[in-house]
Amino acid sequence: MSRKFIVLAAIAAFLTPSAAFAQAADPAGSGPIVAALGWLQGTLLGNVATAVAVMAVAAVGFMMLTGRLNWRFGATVIIGVFILFGAASIVAGIQGVAA
């Protein structure tokens, strides 16, 4: 009877949810992936992307004012640009609330 209890206790211990702790450092071997994501972030938030976003918002705004573009679609483009460039602040705010 005690052996059965020990086995059930071990199974219960493995199935019990526990807190997940974030790792302080990047896992081993993730250097190329981290570098690629850093490059992608630099590309999406760099000078060229900023210039393209400014031109896109200007074009969408002009088309909305002249009645050539639906206001809902234009608003989604503008909100998307704000989310893209404000992603770091959004994530920092979420992490601050969660901590």
Look at residue 2 and tell me whether its pLDDT is greater than 80.
no
Please enumerate in sequence order all residues whose Cβ is within 8 A of that of 61, keeping only pairs 6 or more positions apart, or say none.
74, 78
The predicted-structure confidence for 11-26, as pLDDT tens digits, reads as follows: 655 566 655 555 556 6
Look at residue 56 and tell me whether its pLDDT is greater than 70.
yes
| Average confidence (pLDDT) over 87-92 | 86
Residue 82 lies in a domain: yes
The predicted-structure confidence for 61-76, as pLDDT tens digits, reads as follows: 999 999 998 989 889 9
The residue range of the domain holding 58 is 33-99
Number of domains comprising the chain = 1
Residue 72 lies in a domain: yes
Structure tokens at 38: 């850093």
- Ordered alpha helix ranges (H), the chain: 2-15, 31-45, 47-65, 71-85, 87-98
Count Cβ atoms below 10 Å from residue 53 Cβ, excluding itself: 19
